[in-house]
Chains A and B, each alone.
Chain A
Amino acid sequence: MQELHKKLKEKFPDDVLGTHEQHGDETAIVKPSSLLKVAQFLRDDPEFAMNFLMDLTAVDGLRLGWNPRFQVVYHFFSYGKNHRLRIKVPAADGGSVPSLTGLWAVANWFERECWDLFGVKFDGHPDLRRIMMYDGFVGHPLRKDYPINKRQPLIGPGAIAK
Chain B
Amino acid sequence: MSTTTYQKKRKENMMLNVGPSHPAMHGIVRMVVELDGEVIVGSDVEIGFLHRAFEKDSEQFGYLQVIPYTDRLNYVSPLINNVGYCMAVEKLFGLKSPERAQYIRVIMCELSRVSDHLTCIAASAMELGAFTVFLYMIKQREEIYQLIEEVTGARLTISYARVGGVKGDLTDGFESKCHAVMKKTREVLRECDQLLTHNRIFVDRVKNIGIISKEDAISYSMTGPFLRSTGVDFDVRRATPYLVYDRFDFEIPVGSTGDCLDRYLVRMDEMEQSMRIVEQAFKQMPAGHVLVNEQGEVVKSEDLVDSAKMGNTEGIVTKSAIVEPTLEGYHKDNRAEVGTCNKRAAMPPKEETYSNIEGLMNHFKTVMVGHGTRPPAGEAYHAVEGANGELGFYVVSDGTGTPYRVRVRPPCFTIMSGLHKIVEGDTLADIIASFGSVNMIGGELDR
Interface residue ranges, A against B (CB under 8 Å)? 22-25, 51-55, 57, 59-60, 63-64, 73, 75, 79, 82, 84, 86, 104-106, 108-110, 113, 117, 130-134, 141-142, 146, 148
Contact = CB atoms under 8 A, between A and B. Distances in A.
Given A51-B218, A55-B409, A25 B379 contact: yes
B414 interface: yes
Nearest to B48: A132
A64 B404 contact: yes
Given A57-B407, A131-B48, A105 B378 contact: no
Contacts of A86: 381
Given A63-B404, A75-B381, 8 more contacts: A24-B91, A25-B380, A55-B409, A64-B398, A82-B240, A109-B413, A117-B55, A141-B53
10 tightest A-B CB contacts, nearest first: A109-B417, A132-B48, A55-B409, A106-B221, A105-B219, A132-B51, A57-B407, A106-B220, A23-B380, A23-B91
A148 B53 CA distance: 9
- What is the predominant secondary structure among interface residues of chain B facing chain A? mixed
B47 A23 contact: no
Given A79-B232, A132-B446, A148-B56, A54 B404 contact: no
Interface of B: 47-48, 51, 53, 55-57, 60, 91-92, 94, 216, 218-221, 232, 234, 239-240, 378-381, 383, 390, 392, 394, 396, 398, 404-405, 407, 409, 413-414, 416-418, 421, 446-447
Given A54-B392, A75-B409, A82-B239, A106 B51 contact: no
A145 to B, nearest CB: 12
Contact of A105 (B53, B383, B417): B417
Nearest to A108: B417
Nearest to B218: A51
Contacts of A148: 56-57, 60
A89 to B, nearest CB: 15
Contacts of B92: 23
24 contacts: A23-B92, A23-B94, A51-B218, A52-B218, A54-B390, A54-B409, A55-B381, A55-B392, A59-B404, A73-B394, A75-B381, A79-B218, A104-B219, A105-B216, A106-B220, A109-B413, A109-B414, A109-B416, A109-B417, A113-B413, A131-B47, A134-B48, A141-B53, A148-B60
